[in-house]
Structure 1
Amino acid sequence: MQRHNLFIITGAGRGFGRAIAEAVKDSEISKQPTTIVLVGRDSASLDQAAGTLTGSTVKSKSIANADFSDLSTVQQVILPGIKKIVEDVQANGTPITNVYLINNAGSTGDLSKKAADYEADDVQSYYNVNVVSFISLVSAIVNLFRKPQSSDETPFPPDLSVVNISSLLAVKAFPNWGLYASGKAARDMFLQVLAAEHKDGSVKTLSYAPGPLDNDMQLQCRETLGDAEQKQIYTTMAEQGKLVKMEESAKKLLVLLSDNKYDSGAHIDFYD
């Protein structure tokens, strides 16, 4: 049976999410039929991105209005959208054989604050966006693609890979990153648990730290980070052109997925 890849990328309208989508189009994987689903908030940026991703073997779809601060988003917006796209692909007689969920959407939180400064509302809102919604989406996708198949569907479930865009901060502590670092660590561990629950390889997980990217989020860090030493390090890296280009990091992620040699549950850094 011919392979058909389905990539679901959150936060895909701009920044690293869009860079990942571009890398998918240019990867070895996309030499086989591939559908890219761009998930994000802004329909205009998603549609614009989708328009650049169509090729001979690649089609792109978008799911807009995905606001991860709203805990109903997964069940009411994203999941129905994915189900419809899957149904359309299957209706064309091309069963999906490989699914990649790439969780890129996220935020830094208030980097001016230290651990002692957080209020309950700060913690709750940050974790809703970056941890609760993440776990909800991963759980929903695993359930969708691992459930028993009916006789009129593909006779076997597709291989499923779940990727968390992680950070060095998930494994190494630095001042002022309390919410961000603990959120990334929680996401890493959740995927380790998921890997342990699927030792048969039916679900494979990866936490990928893309390095200090040359993007708007890194600019925000340099402008708002409360720790002077780190701010100077990042500023120097930016001035000397030592920040990681998004397209280079995205390409490395796609090579990892294409080679498929990593251990499920692994945390891999761009510099590894």
Structure 2
Amino acid sequence: MADSILQKKSVCVVTGPTRGLGRSIAYQLSKKLPDGSLFILLSKNKALLDEIAGLIITHRDEIRVVTSVFDQGSSDQGQFDNVFQDCLVKAGAHVNEFEQAILVNNAGTLELLELSRDLDNVNAVNVFFSTNITGCVVLTAKFLQVFSATAMKARVIINISSLAAVSPMKSWLLYCMAKSSRDMMMKVIGEEEDNIRTLNYAPGPLATDMSVIASTETKDPSLRAWFEDQVKNKTLVECDQSVEKLITVLEKNSFANGAHIDYYDEA
């Protein structure tokens, strides 16, 4: 059986860690990784970044945390080029201190929830893909460069996926495309790179702001009604509950590179 991913002193990058699933991932992983590990938290919202950083440090003062205001949808190349080096300098850290580097690609958006025939606004479609695909690809490339196969003993990339990556959902074309593309990215990186583990984790339908948006903005009537019912009856999956499943998967570390594992799959 492979060693648990969570036993190694790590530098752990989490995108979108200020709300919902990303916040839960950052906090729960900070309780699991060894002393001396470093968390790099990336988000557009400085106030919420400071809040989650403070929460982690309060409960694990043996863990270091640095934050960076970062917009994954930006077209500013400089923002991507220097983000990891700047965070390491801010932490007074060097890649050689760590056994392992972890990237959790969590940041993403849900809208536009339109039928395919209505997706005719070039700018709106470009904005969606800038955040959900382009920025994710470039940030991941920078992660692979800074935390290279020669610099690190082990590397892990966790893509927060969705049922939408493998099952078509009416009026969710862009979201389905983005999630399936990111799933394939994990498969390709798993083939290209040495000493790396890649995972697509679909966290289930979560009790977050996104589900509320889905219950009001989804153009397909049957899918919108399903979300309305889930939100009304409070039957959605809690973020902490889903992260517990993810942690179990990481501790077992038996998945194939690029695997798509759903919250509802057997552990």
TM-score (norm 1): 0.87
* Separation (CA, whole Å) in 1 of partners of 2:255 and 2:101: 17
Confirm whether residue 177 of structure 1 aligns to residue 172 of structure 2. Answer: yes
Which blocks of at least 5 consecutive residues in structure 1 are unaligned? 149-155
Structure 2 SS opposite 1:175 = coil
Residue in structure 2 matching 1:60, options 56, 65, 69: 65
Q: Which residue of 1 aligns with 2:14?
A: 9
Superposed displacement of residue 118, structure 1: 0.9
One-letter amino acid of the counterpart of residue 177, structure 2: S
Query: CA-to-partner distance for each residue in 1:32-63, whole Å, 9 max, x for gaps?
Result: 43211110001111011100101143222111
Superposed displacement of residue 71, structure 1: 2.2
* Separation (CA, whole Å) in 2 of partners of 1:208 and 1:3: 20
One-letter amino acid of the counterpart of residue 68, structure 1: Q
* Separation (CA, whole Å) in 2 of partners of 1:41 and 1:238: 27
Identity score, percent:
28
* Separation (CA, whole Å) in 2 of partners of 1:147 and 1:24: 23
Q: Which residue of 1 aligns with 2:4?
A: none
* Separation (CA, whole Å) in 1 of partners of 2:207 and 2:136: 24
Query: CA-to-partner distance for each residue in 1:101-134, whole Å, 9 max, x for gaps?
Result: 00111001221x2011112223222111110111
* Separation (CA, whole Å) in 1 of partners of 2:39 and 2:204: 24
Q: Which residue of 2 aligns with 1:71?
A: 75
Say if 1:264 and 1:18 are closer, same or farther in 2 by CA, change over 3 A. Answer: same
Superposed displacement of residue 227, structure 1: 1.2
Q: Which residue of 2 aligns with 1:151?
A: none
Superposed displacement of residue 233, structure 1: 1.3
* Most deviating of 75-84 and 96-105: 75-84
Listed as ranges, the matches of 1:62-101 within 5 Å are 62-64=67-69, 66-72=70-76, 75-87=77-89, 88-90=92-94, 95-101=97-103
Q: Which residue of 1 aligns with 2:116?
A: 115
* Separation (CA, whole Å) in 2 of partners of 1:225 and 1:110: 9
One-letter amino acid of the counterpart of residue 28, structure 2: A
* Separation (CA, whole Å) in 2 of partners of 1:118 and 1:34: 44
One-letter amino acid of the counterpart of residue 93, structure 2: V
How many residue pairs were aligned?
254
One-letter amino acid of the counterpart of residue 190, structure 1: M
Superposed displacement of residue 179, structure 1: 0.4
